[in-house]
Structure 1
Amino acid sequence: MADIQLGTHTIKSYGIKVARFHMYDWIILLLLGVIEIILNVIDPFYRFVGKDMMIDLKYPLKSNTVPFWAVPVIGIVLPCAVIIGIYFKRRDVYDFHHAILGLLYSVLVTGVITDAIKDAVGRPRPDFFWRCFPDGQEVGHYSCDHPSFFLVYDNVTTNVICHGEKSVIKEGHKSFPSGHSSWSFAGLGFLAWYLSGKIQVFDRRGHIAKLCIVFLPLLGASLVAISRVDDYWHHWQDVFAGGILGFIVASVCYLQFFPPPYDVDGWGPFAYFRMLAETRNTVQGSTNTNSLTSRPSEIETVYV
């Protein structure tokens, strides 16, 4: 295990240096944020929905148990609060910076992939009927004699013709995969990895309490995902795929910056141990140089 020098590398002393070294990573992160905004603005693929398909899409239109604004709080703010708390305890800017950067990458990469798939697939939500027909009227046809009636299915393709609010219908074509599920597992999944390294859950001492702590974020993400099925905003396949996607991205992003939690150095980031190795090599190099320059004077002293 490398020599531990906690408390000597703070945000004040090394923060700017570390951030500059990862300047391009932060720029790419901003670009991912812009892409995420664009993917939410553009229209998704409006998949064919026939009359027979509507039978399975008549679940009630409910409000969200976990509102949209709460997802960033759960997936970003909560893990950041834990990371900040650990920083104040350890005072290690390398750990703090790489944890924040890894977390943001985990969430944004997951968000971009999720919304790109949503827009490309265009799967209707379980409550699509009520988005399409807010008044519940599925029958009727439009004619000059009865202008109050609507043509609800195309006479040629039999595709549904919705008369609901455009933004509500647009959102109704974004079922697969679940964004709540993927974002929650991306953020809380990263937090689970992070905690498992910090409390050394795989230290072979058999402390089940440590394992329970690691499972808490995953349980929270699972409950968020389940709420999407309970609210009839997603099919179970959407939630399952979103959770798998989020956790895979979280795992890749964490292991990009940190050793596996079962590693002997699993409690700190790669950059921290690389810094220690470089410092040690520099000290050894200067020591060897001083040793070589001192030998001629020692010899001269002996023979004078």
Structure 2
Amino acid sequence: MAILAKLPFSKRRLRPRVVISYIFDYVILIACVIGFYILDSIEPYHQHFSLQNISIQYPYAVHERIPIAYALCISGAFPLALIIIYTLFIDGLFSHNKPQDPVSGKRKLRGPHRWKDRLWEMNCGVLGLLLAQGITFVITQVLKNACGKPRPDLIDRCQPLPHSKDLFPGLSNSTICQGDPTILKDGFRSWPSGHSSSSFAGLVFTSLWLGGKLHIMDNRGEAWKPLVVMVPILAATLVAVSRIMDARHHPFDVITGSLLGTVCGYVSYRQYFPPITEAWRKGRAYPIRTWGTDPAGPDAVRFKDTALTPLRNPEEERMDSDMPRSEHPRPDASTYLTSSNPFASNISNRRPHDHEPDGGAWSSSEDDVTNGYEMRPGYSMAQNPAGHDALQYDPRNAYVSQTQPLTSEPMAGAGGRPLTDFPGRAM
């Protein structure tokens, strides 16, 4: 534990519970692997079937187009290698805000990200990918064993006894089969498709990860970005379609397995990374997790604390509504920037890269943004003191277009004060 008590390439020490929590993530992934092999050894439920059912009379394909080993390479090994190579060596090479060497004055080739930032991004990327695959395999195997749906090639796997017929009325069962027990056992695991679910889980995660790193939802509209992001989705679709071509699964099995993998991939990505719609975060992983804080999110400022509703004074509200709007007291803008106001924080309520000198080198493992995007205690108390529903506009929260040059004249903020007068804001 002493070795893991601090971040690599950093002097900042971590609490034991933080270190244990991330170790616990890897323990859960190992448990998923063990659980999958346990579930694979269990005999699945055997549904009854009809020997006259044409949909299960396809020939058994001895050689699959994409065996499970190849599918794992496509949806697991390739994304893993991409995450490691990109985060350690490529990320920042094309940045326009590369820092300069203090001695030689030359711009650093590796970009604005430090080694501890790269290692943190790699850790979160690997965790998310493994989580997507781990939970997908476990859920898929549980459903396969519980349902016991026959595959399209079940009759060929079964090798029924000569002159076997369906009961009248009734259906046949596995007792009439004399084929290889191992092959027959897997013949009752058609739903959902494991190839489809695992491929979509790993490659949907990869698409989201690429979309975040390429900030695909920004305002530039570059055609090559969606093309790159959709390549993993195309690969997952081809893997899924191959299962129908090999008569290993019915179309319904492939479709539902793909949906399952998509959900698992998205949920796993959001555990460690912000949504790709927030392009200004540039796909940087969340900071080190904390406890004792409220859920994060800019939409939270729109909700008012309903716990104080019973304390409202109807008489006072009636008198206030009778007063002309022009006579309502208007608080000074400085009241929103005091130290007791949670909105005054220059970390939790601004774009993540605003505090960086180069304007875009936000670090998810920065020592000073450990609690970034975390709502401070008492967030719900940050309401308009005058009782108005609308919150005071703060220009610091506005999204600045990257395509328009900044003017040399300072913009006027709330109360007529220039933005340079606001604490924690540098234009």
Mapped contact 2:88–2:119 kept (Cα < 8 A) = no
CA distance, structure 2, for counterparts of residue 72 and residue 202 of structure 1: 29
Answer yes or no: is the 8 Å Cα contact 2:88–2:122 preserved in 1. no
What does residue 199 of structure 1 align with? 214
Q: Is the 2:44–2:148 contact (alpha carbons within 8 Å) kept by the matching residues of 1? A: yes
C-alpha displacement at 1:159, in angstroms? Answer: 1.6
Q: Deviations over 1:111-167 (max 9, x none)?
A: 10011001111111111110011xxx6642xxxxxxxxxx56568854231110100
- Normalising by structure 2, we get a TM-score of 0.56
- Whether the aligned pair in 2 keeps the contact of 1:260 and 1:266 (CA below 8 Å) is no
Q: Which runs of 4+ in 1 moved over 3 A?
A: 9-14, 16-21, 151-158, 272-281
Unaligned runs of at least 5 residues, structure 1: 1-8, 141-150, 282-304
Q: C-alpha distance in 1, partners of 2:195/2:178?
A: 27
Q: Which residue of 133, 138, 144 maps to 1:107?
A: 133
Give the 5 Å matches for 1:126-137.
126-133=152-159
- Give the whole-Å Cα distance in 2 for the aligned partners of 1:233 and 1:121: 16
* Equivalent residue number for residue 39 of structure 2: 39
Residue in structure 1 matched with residue 58 of structure 2 by the alignment: 59
Change (3 A) 1:216 1:33: same
Deviation at 1:278, TM superposition (A): 4.0
Give per-residue Cα distances to partners, 1:24-59, cap 9 Å, x unaligned.
111111111111111111111001112333x22111
* 1:84 Cα deviation after fit: 0.7
Are the equivalent residues in 1 in contact too, given 2:197–2:262 (CA < 8 A)?
Answer: yes
- Corresponding residue for 2:97? none
For the residue of structure 2 that corresponds to 1:124, the secondary structure is coil
Partner of 2:24: 24
- Contact 1:10–1:93 (Cα < 8 Å) also in 2: no
* CA distance in structure 2 between the partners assigned to 1:158 and 1:233 by the alignment: 22
Matched, 1:121 2:134: no
| Contact kept? 1:192, 1:214, Cα under 8 Å | yes
**Shift in CA distance, 158/255, structure 1 to aligned 2, threshold 3 Å:** closer
Aligned to 2:237: 222
| Residue identity matched to 1:114 | T
Q: Give deviations 1:216-255, integer Å, cap 9, x for gaps.
A: 0000000000000001000001110111100111001101
Q: Report what 2:291 is aligned to.
A: none
Q: How many angstroms apart in 1 are the aligned matches of 2:186 and 2:66?
A: 16
Output the CA distance in 2 between the equivalents of 1:169 and 1:197. 44
Match of 1:268 among 270, 284, 291: 284
RMSD: 2.6
Query: Is the 8 Å Cα contact of residues 139 and 152 (structure 1) preserved in structure 2?
Result: no
Report the Cα distance in structure 1 between the residues aligned to 2:149 and 2:250, rounded to whole angstroms.
10
Q: How does 1:145-156 map to 2 (within 5 A)?
A: none
Q: Are the equivalent residues in 1 in contact too, given 2:196–2:236 (CA < 8 A)?
A: yes
The answer as to 2:83 corresponding to 1:83 is yes
Q: 1:132 to 1:99 in 2, by over 3 A?
A: same
1:162–1:202 CA distance, 2 compared to 1 (3 A): same
Matched positions, count: 259
Residue equivalent to 1:95 = 121
Aligned with 2:172 (options 153, 156, 159):
159
Match of 1:173 among 151, 164, 188: 188
- Residues 138 and 152 in structure 1, CA contact (< 8 A), matched pair in contact too: no
- For the Cα contact (< 8 Å) 1:180–1:224, is it kept in 2? yes
Query: Which of 1 and 2 has higher RCO (CA within 8 Å, sep 6+)?
Result: 1
Between the aligned residues of both structures, percent identity stands at 33
1:242 aligns with 2:257: yes
